[in-house]
Amino acid sequence: MEESEALCTRVAVMVNGQFQCLGSNQHIKAKFGEGFNLVIKLRAPRTAGQEAADAKRQALMQHITSTFPSSQLKEHHAGYLHYHIGRTSGLSYAQLFGAVERARSTYDIDDYSVTQASLEQVFIGFARLQREPQMIKSTRCFGLC
């Protein structure tokens, strides 16, 4: 997929032998991407201890779930939280950034990033549409009947 993004100006996607889309990489990601990726890095606990940091992390996780009902926690480790936030009714980058900025000081967020779905994730979504071809029975016996 990286080669496609680097070399191609237009990409076509086919599923079961039929065109599903044709356009630039950005157009395909914007139209068929399934939401946003949100990665949050939390500040390391200072003197408050690990229990307080764990409580803040749990509170932040609950805040994200309530703010973005379509969010799914993909992984969390070593002070990082990785969420996939599904495409909801009109959720924009501005709304997403605004919500994270408002929560930044409350939940000790050190850094964060918001990205759109990658071209690879879009292709995986199309691959889910792929169906097994029906077994075609031949009318010829080739002398084996």
One digit per residue, the tens of pLDDT, for the chain of length 145 reads 788 888 889 999 888 888 888 999 989 988 888 888 999 999 877 666 678 778 888 999 999 999 988 899 999 888 899 999 887 757 888 888 999 999 998 898 999 999 988 888 888 888 888 877 654 344 454 444 4
Place of tokens 């932040």: 60
- Alpha helices, H only, 33-130: 50-67, 93-104, 119-127
Distance from C-alpha of 138 to C-alpha of 106, rounded to nearest angstrom? 68
Structure tokens that stand for 102 in this block? 């408002």
Taking the alpha carbons of 105, 108, 114, 117 in that order, is the dihedral positive or negative?
Answer: negative
**Which residues pair with residue 111 across a beta bridge?**
41
Distance from C-alpha of 36 to C-alpha of 29, rounded to nearest angstrom? 11
Domain boundaries of the chain, sorted by first residue:
1-33+118-132, 35-116
Q: What is the CATH number of domain 35-116?
A: 3.30.70.870
pTM (two decimals): 0.70
